[in-house]
Structures are given as structure tokens and as C-alpha cells.
Structure 1
Amino acid sequence: MRAVDDPVRRVRSRPVEDSVLEAAWLYYVEEWNQSQIAERLQVSRATVVNYLQQARELGHVELRVDPVTFNRQRLSREMRDRFGLASALVVPGPSYSLASVALAAARYCPDLIEPGDVVGISWGETIYEMAERMLPRAIADLTVVQMVGSMPSPYIFTSESCSTNVALKLSGRVVNLYAPAALASAEAAALLRQEPLIRQHFALLDRMQKAIFAVGSMDADSHVVKSGIATPDDVAVYAERGAVGVLCGRFVDGDGRHVVGPVDERMIGITPEKLSGLAAGILVASGENRVRAMRGAMVAGYATHLVTDEPTAQALLQLND
């Protein structure tokens, strides 16, 4: 007996990868809606949503933010004019949103990186989330370098995970810093800095053309305290000396100047002035408690490109110089 040709059975027996590709093509190229695709593939609308998500995660489809369009936004223009930035991507919306800023940076930052670049990566929740949300893209001869030493941290976003994830997403070579962010004594840190492997690492950082970094707060539950780099007493000393936030593990004042204090001689990592003069310093940050440190990073010239959200941009523009 001849088998009956069942189109529904044919659709359901095809490889999932084929369905993912067809759903992506119909949605993004031919502009079908999700209900039409579900009917075509004989699956639920929820399955179509899952297919489209898979297509993005696998790199079959890449959504890019057009910086030219967003730079025409009023807040973006004002931020660029006020702080002398090459670009300011301001995520629209009434609320502070680290997740939205990280997603915008994930779509935007790879466009600023070119083949052969040496790119420094800092650490923190925002940078980690950005790396997690990046879509796979191969950038030839890319080197990604960890800028801050490692630390025993209660967070998933360690220094080495941030740099490693960016390198994995962009098919680059990762060079992690095999040293603690802060040692027990200044003497131990001084000895470690003389190790050939550590000296080679900092020689590579001297060659970096671009950097992606965030800024941290100085709250009692801030990352710099929770990760063990500084104690609350240390933070109080830095605050008395004019510090308003943390940049690459170092304390900075409202003009971005490095505030030296009790932790610095024990630290392994770059100092803020190393971010000066780069082809691109990309600051990715959100939050009212980070505004003064963000201003400092821009005023000092460390940041040439900014990714933030609307409330943070408004707060920055309202700060008195």
C-alpha cells in the first residue's frame, strides 16, 4: 500500500535547525508575523518565539543598533556636546536599567572593534551581562586582555569571566591576568609585578587600542567591597580624599583623577590614566550612584564612547561642573 503524503508529518519530522532557519528567514527577511509562521510550520506560536531566540543566540541572525540614528537623539547630542564624546548611545525609557544598557552595549560594542585590535576588558556585572548577550561574530586577529586582577568573589562576574566571554563571542584570543586583584601586602604585590608573566601582560596592555569598562559605586554593598578588594574602612579613607567611585578597581574623584589610598600599593591591575589616549574608550554604565564617577571618566578623557540609559544621561546633564 502506498503511504499517504502527510505535510504535517513532513514538517514535524524535519530537523529543528531547518525550522529555526526558516522561521528566522520568514520573520526577519520576508516580514511574516509569528502567527503566520506558526501556521506554516505547524507549530505553536511559543515554539516560533523559541526558534527566533535560537536563531539570535546561534548567530544566524544579528540585530545591530544603528549608532547614527541614536546619535541624533536629543540626549545623545547633548551628552556628546557636553563631554566631547565621539558617540553616546542612550537607551530610551523612564527607568534605570542595567539589563537594557548591557544589551545595547552587546549589540553596539562589536561594531567598534576592528581586526587586529588589542582590547582591554574591565570587570563587573554590567560588563559580564554585556558579554553574555553578545552574539557570535568573528573578528580576525583580535586580542582581548584582562585589565584587573582576579579576586575571590561572591559574584559570577569575575574579571577573568568577563574577558574570556568577550573573546569567545568575538572569536578572539584571550590573555587573562594570572594574579590576584589585591595582595596581602605592598611587598608581595611589588614582587609579583616583577614576574616575567606579569610584566609581559602589562606590556600587552601598553599596546591596547581600545577598552570596554564600567564604573562602580562606593556603597557599603558595592562590588569593590563584596569582592574583598577594599574594606568599608578603606572606602571611607578614599571618600575622605575625594573619591566618588571605582574605575577598573581603582578609586577616582569627580574629575576622573586617580585617588591613591591604602589599597593601591597592594593591587595588580591598570591605573585609570592608562585609559587615556586610546582610539576608543567605551564606558558602559547605568545608575544614580554611578553618575559622578561616570562624569569623571568622561571629563578625564578615558571615555570616548558611552552606552547608558535615559535617566542616567539626564542625571549627568544636571550635574554641576
Structure 2
Amino acid sequence: MPLSGVPLGKTKGAADLARVQPRDDTHFVEAAWLYYHDGLNQNEIAERMRISRASVVNYLSEARARGWVLVHLDSDVFCGHRLAAELCTVYGLAEALVVPDDPVDPDGTAASVARVTRAAADWLPRLLEPGDRLGVSWGATVYQMAQQLPNTPVPDLTVIQLLGSRPAALGFAAEACTSMLAQRLGGQCINLHVPLVLSSKALRDALSDEPVVHDQLRALATCNKTVLACGTCDADAHVVRSGILSAQSMADYRAKGAAGVICGRLIDGAGQSVVADVEERMIGVSLDQMRGKDMALLVAAGPGRAEPAQAAIKGGFVTHLATSTRVARELLEMKT
């Protein structure tokens, strides 16, 4: 049943919770069954169960909170979108998923991004198979997608952190993205237990040669599938906010052609490397290691994401794209 969400009312406070404690769990189950399987609305359920509509709202909310109800977005609906077909034809993608922008979100920001990450979260498990080794990028988009991923165990799955760690007051460090995805997918998690950026190349080389780190780096090179975002190259870019590059350095690299950021590394509009000085001190996946995967899901949503998305596709980093109608149209306009 393709749904983008169910209006289950406001978050319950302590007083509400006290009022809705049922005599047993059958009240929750009955309300959920009538709503999701029988298609009754909340007023009809209230009349059927002889309770208030507010109680119905609370019962449904509690059923979802307990994990008894999983709302699934049927990705086939969005993959069949006309824009999705055009993107596949024009850019040579295996599949694309295009989600309508939120009509009350004219700038394509938070609400529309949440729609895309939700749809991508429902799509990802269907792109995985037993025995896959999934490499995970970082950033707000990937973290938000991981948060919305349904619990969908994939047998013999390994989930691997693609780049070292960086202090992230913003809440979406690489290790957090990887561990959350591994937990939701029931996979073995391999974190890269090193800083992303070291103080010198010599220290980077020495740490990379440590047996434990060497094994972790070898593991990330074996990924056959990836999930990633491609960041912008403006003053508000993730690599600027996290202190990897200064705003001035980013402006300089932008002037040299930088159009996107994949796993902390810059690419130009054709998807080729724009080598930043900091790269010789970084520990993580190389751009060459990110190309040519069996499946590489790029999640692209929000203002300014069309240019980096196009660069990532041209560079061979993407086989599958999850995006919004706004970004899809921009990508098609840029191609012509």
C-alpha cells in the first residue's frame, strides 16, 4: 500500500498517555486493523469501538511506536514516473525514483528532502541481496535516510564505513550513518576507526599501515554496492561546515571547476577528480574505488543538488538515483 505518511495526530504528552492506557493490547491491534486493513477512517473506528476519536488517534500512534505497523512506500510507483524514465534514458541510469516535491515547500528544502530520503529508505532494501557488501558515505542526507529505513534484515550483509571519522556536532558523522544502516538492515558493521583528516601525510601513511586499519581499508575496497550523497561546493558545503576545507579554499577549488563532493573528495562537472591539498592527509575510500559498482544509489534532494548530482552521474559513481521532481527537471534541463 503506497503511502507517504498517515495523519495520526500530534505527539502524545504524559497526560495523553495516561488516558489511553488500555486494559490490554487488543485495543491497539483492533484500531490498527480497522484503519490499515479495513480502510475505515478515524471517526468510523471511534464509532465502531465506542471510543473517542482522540483515543483512536492515540491507539494508532502507539501501534506504530511499538513497531506493529510498518508503512511501506512502493518504490515501483515512483520508478514509473515519466521524469524517472527520462532520467534513465538521458543519463544511462539503471533506475531512478522521482518523488513529488512538497506543495507547501516552494524552495525544495526540508519537507521535500524528507520525502526523498523517506522514499530512498524504502527503496534501498529492495536493491540489496544476500551477501552484498554495502559501502556507506556520510552527510545529512544519508543520515536522514538511515533514520527512516525500516527494519529489513538482509542475510549475510556487510555494511562498511567508506571514510574516516570527523567530529560532527551536526549529528551525522560517518560512523553514525554506517552503524544505523547496519542495525536496520541486520548486517555486520565495519567501521573505519580512524580520523578522516590527519595532521600530516606521514602520520596518515603510518596509521594506514597499522594492521587493524589496513584490514578495514581493504574491506572498504571490496564493496560491490554503495549508498551516497554528492555535496555542493558552496560556502555552506558539508566539508566546509565540518572544517575539512575553509570557505576560501572551497571558493578557490570552485573556481578551478569543482562541482561536487563525494566522500570528502572533490569532483568537477565531468566527475573527474579535483585534487585538494587536504587529500594527502585523508583516510578513506578513493574516487577510483567508488566507480563501477553493481549498484550505487545516489540520494539527491534540496536546493543546488542538480549540479553535483550530474557530476556524480557523469563520473560513473551512480547507477540508481533517488531525487525530487524539482531536481529531476533541473537535471534534464542541464543535459539539453
Q: TM-score, normalised by structure 1?
A: 0.90
User: Quick check: 258-267 or 229-238, which moved more?
Assistant: 229-238
Distance 1:163 1:31, change over 3 A: same
What corresponds to 1:40 in structure 2? 48
In structure 1, what is the equivalent of residue 244 of structure 2?
A: 229
Q: What's 1:130 paired with?
A: 145
| Change in CA separation of 1:109 and 1:26 when aligned onto 2, cut-off 3 Å | same
Residue among 282, 286, 295 paired with 1:267: 282
Number of positions where the alignment pairs a residue of Structure 1 with one of Structure 2: 310
Does residue 75 (structure 1) correspond to residue 90 (structure 2)? The answer is no
Which deviations, in whole Å up to 9, do the C-alpha atoms of 1:296-315 show, x marking residues without a partner?
A: 11122211111100101111
The aligned amino acid for 1:156 is: G
SS of 2:227's partner is strand
The match for 2:215 is 200
- 1:304 maps to which of 319, 324, 328: 319
After superposition, where does 1:14-163 map in structure 2 within 5 Å? 14-15=23-24, 17-93=25-101, 95=106, 96=108, 97-163=112-178
State the one-letter code of the partner of 1:82: V
Report if the CA contact (8 A) 2:266-2:274 is conserved. Answer: yes
Give, in whole Å, the separation in 2 of the partners of 1:113 and 1:144: 11
Cα distance per residue 1:187-220 (max 9 Å; x no partner): 2111111111121112111221211101111222
**Structure 1 residues 53 and 238: CA distance shift in structure 2, 3 A:** farther
Q: Give distance in 1, aligned partners of 2:268 and 2:92.
A: 19
Q: Of 297, 300, 303, which aligns to 1:285?
A: 300
User: In structure 2, do the counterparts of structure 1 residues 250 and 12 end up closer, same or farther at CA, with 3 Å as the change threshold?
Assistant: closer
Aligned mates of 2:27, 2:271 — CA distance in 1: 51
% identical equivalent positions: 42
- Cα pair 2:133 2:158 within 8 Å, conserved: yes
- Shifted more, 38-47 versus 128-137: the winner is 38-47
2:296 is paired with a residue whose SS is strand
Distance in structure 2 (CA, Å) of the matches to 1:54 and 1:305? 35
CA distance 1:60–1:279, shift in 2 (3 Å): farther
SS at the partner of 2:309?
helix
Deviates more, 1:212-221 or 1:68-77: 68-77
CA RMSD of aligned residues (A): 2.0
Residue 225 (structure 2) aligned to one of 210, 213, 219: 210
In structure 2, the CA distance between the partners of 1:44 and 1:183, relative to structure 1 (3 Å rule), is farther
C-alpha contact 1:115 1:142 (8 A) present in aligned 2: yes
Q: How big is each residue's C-alpha offset from its partner over 1:1-27, in whole Å with a ceiling of 9 and x where there is no partner?
A: xxxxxxxxxx96433x43333222222
Structure 2 CA distance for partners of 1:233 and 1:69, relative to 1, 3 Å: same
Alpha-carbon distance between aligned partners in 2 of 1:44 and 1:115, rounded to the nearest angstrom: 46
Contact 1:59–1:137 (Cα < 8 Å) also in 2: no
- 8 Å CA contact retained: 1:137, 1:169: yes
Q: Is the 8 A contact 2:234 2:251 kept in 1?
A: no
What letter corresponds to residue 125 of structure 2 in structure 1?
P
Structure 1 residues 117 and 71: CA distance shift in structure 2, 3 A: same
| In structure 1, distance between residues paired with 2:286 and 2:35 | 47
Offset, 1:50: 4.2
- Residue pair 1:151, 1:228 contacting (<8 A) in 2 also: no
> What TM-score, normalized to structure 2?
0.86
Structure 1: segments with no counterpart, 5+ residues: 1-10
CA deviations on 1:273-313 (whole Å, 9 max, x unpaired) are 22222111000011232211100111222111111001011
Q: In structure 1, how many angstroms separate the alpha carbons of the residues matched to 2:78 and 2:57?
A: 27
1:254 correspondence with 2:263 = no
CA distance in 1, matches of 2:126, 2:64: 17
Aligned pairs for 1:2-13 within 5 A: 13=22
Return the alpha-carbon distance in structure 2 between the equivalents of residues 244 and 135 of structure 1: 33
- Could you tell me which runs of 5 or more consecutive residues in structure 2 were left unpaired when the two chains were aligned: 1-19
Which residue of structure 1 aligns with residue 203 of structure 2? 188
Q: Which amino acid aligns with 1:14?
A: R
Classify 1:43/1:214 alpha carbon distance in 2 versus 1 (closer, same or farther; 3 Å). farther
> Cα 1:61–1:261, aligned 2, differ >3 Å: closer, same or farther?
same
Name which of structure 1's ranges 88-97 and 151-160 shifts more when overlaid on structure 2: 88-97
